[in-house]
Amino acid sequence: MRDIYHDELDAIGSLVICMAKSVAVAMERATAALLDANLQLAEQVLGGDASVDALRNEIEERCFQIIATQSPVATDLRVVISTIHLAADLERMGDLAHHVAKIARLRFPEHAVPGEVRAVFEQMGEVAHSLITKVIEVVDGRDVELAQAIEVEDDSMDALRRKLFTIVLSDRWAHGTEAAIDVTLLGRYYERYADHAVAVARHTTFIVTGERAA
Amino acid sequence: MRDIYHDELDAIGSLVICMAKSVAVAMERATAALLDANLQLAEQVLGGDASVDALRNEIEERCFQIIATQSPVATDLRVVISTIHLAADLERMGDLAHHVAKIARLRFPEHAVPGEVRAVFEQMGEVAHSLITKVIEVVDGRDVELAQAIEVEDDSMDALRRKLFTIVLSDRWAHGTEAAIDVTLLGRYYERYADHAVAVARHTTFIVTGERAA
């Protein structure tokens, strides 16, 4: 009984990692689509979102089946419930990559991102990638110390967002209101992406802490 | 055994309604704070968010206890898992009211919202209030037809948001980039609030459909 439970939980864990890797690729492509005004990459992100959503549904359904058939309690149950939350956060991160790609597509063949903020978005993309890479390691190895590093990187994403505002609100901003709106929304999407990475790390920390306490 | 289960589920249902009512008040006050540059109301919203978060934790913890002690299966289990999701959506709606109040406080004693877009935000506030009122009725009475009306109102929120963009991007916009950014973010917050109302309605529909099918 316990072995079936843990085998299935491992299988679900692999699906979570698979989902996180899809999200990582989506945000990497979305950032490249944005920085290079690359329509093809934007379309790839927009076309790929359904498979992330499908993975989330499968993870949730299998967690549901585990609860229904194995009746886990205490820490075991917390692991399953945390996995359901975690999949929801990853799905949302996929949605945010989708939103970034949508703005890139909307402005094509123009660049949505003017030259002055390009470097900031490049850094945001790098932080986003570093975050999801760490998320995958945390979920895979359940490394709590890495989870703390994720919180620090979330702070640097917030700092990058503040930098965007400084540039857009300076007197030298010559790209008008439409570009300011795009930059505002894009900044928000990267910030939320980082927030959800933190949420995934926290769910995982909770799983590990629970396991240690058990 | 079954009666304890349903009594506890009813009690959790009351907590959900209590949470939804707190969220309704928060967004109503946040909108008033925004439209009237009312600092006191903004502070009330910012101070009240913790109790919404606490309610969410209590709901999740009690759902968890139900699963651990009653081992519900099939539809009963779906109800509990849906309730966990539903509480997460309501918490996020509370966060969004918090974000609206924060912008109102940031710009005080000025109005964050220039005269031209005031009417649109007034309508967004009305739609938001109508949405959460319907959400409460749906959760309370599990009225699936009302859930469909929620989807229609979500469309009208999206239309209001597009109207905001039209105003901000018109040549007559004379309030500069900072106000444009505020309006963009505020529009996004109301839109997301409506999205989460739709999610709550969908979770409830799923519960009802599940019950009917059982």
Q: What is the CATH number of the domain that holds B95?
A: 1.20.58.220
Q: What is the pTM of this model?
A: 0.94
Contacts of B178 in chain A (CB under 8 A): 169
Interface residue B34 vs chain A (CB under 8 A): no
The CA distance from B52 to B96, in Å, is: 12
Q: ∠ CA(A107), CA(A112), CA(A116), 5° rounding?
A: 160
Supply the pLDDT for residue A214: 31
Q: Identify which of A95, B11, A113 has the alpha carbon closest to the alpha carbon of residue B3.
A: B11
* Unique residue bearing structure tokens 């999740």: B60
B71/A74 touch (CB, cutoff 8 Å), yes or no: no
Query: What average pLDDT does the structure give for chain B?
Result: 92
Which of A68-72, B31-35, B56-60 shows the lowest per-residue confidence on average (mean pLDDT)?
A68-72
Alpha carbon of A196: minimum distance to chain B alpha carbons (Å): 12
The CA distance from B182 to B172, in Å, is: 17
Contacts of B188 in chain A (CB under 8 A): 185, 188
State which residues form the domain around B73: 2-213
Supply the pLDDT for residue A209: 67
Supply the pLDDT for residue A49: 84
How confident is the model over B169-197, as pLDDT tens digits? 999 999 999 999 999 999 999 999 999 99
Query: Which residue type does B150 have?
Result: I
- Kindly indicate whether the ipTM for this predicted assembly is greater than 0.95, answering yes or no: no
Supply the pLDDT for residue B73: 86
B177/A178 touch (CB, cutoff 8 Å), yes or no: no
**Most B CBs within 10 Å: which of A91, A106, A181, as the mutation test of the B interface?**
A181
The mean pLDDT of B101-122, rounded to a whole number, is: 97
Domains of chain A: total: 1
How confident is the model over A126-161, as pLDDT tens digits? 999 999 999 999 888 867 788 889 999 999 999 999
Q: Classify B142 in phi/psi space as left (phi over 0), alpha (psi -120 to 50) or beta.
A: left
**Most B CBs within 10 Å: which of A184, A185, A192, A207, as the mutation test of the B interface?**
A184
More confident residue, A2 or B70: B70
Question: Is the pLDDT at A212 greater than 90, yes or no?
Answer: no
Question: Is the pLDDT at B29 greater than 90, yes or no?
Answer: yes
The mean pLDDT of B37-47, rounded to a whole number, is: 97
pLDDT over 90, % of chain A: 79
Contact by Cβ (8 Å): A124, A160:
yes
Q: Highest-confidence range of A25-29, A75-79, A141-145, B46-50, by mean pLDDT?
A: A25-29
Question: Is the pLDDT at A213 greater than 60, yes or no?
Answer: no
More confident residue, B76 or A63: A63
Residues 159-178 of B with CB under 8 A from A: 165, 168-169, 173, 177-178
The mean pLDDT of B135-148, rounded to a whole number, is: 84
Facing A68 at nearest CB: one of B74, B169, B178: B74
In the structure, what pLDDT confidence band is assigned to residue A3 with cuts at 50, 70 and 90?
Answer: confident
How confident is the model over B54-101, as pLDDT tens digits? 999 999 999 999 999 999 988 889 889 999 999 999 999 999 999 999
Phi, psi of A213 (to 5 degrees): -70, -20
The CA distance from B186 to B180, in Å, is: 10
Interface residue B106 vs chain A (CB under 8 A): no
Phi, psi of B99 (to 5 degrees): -65, -40
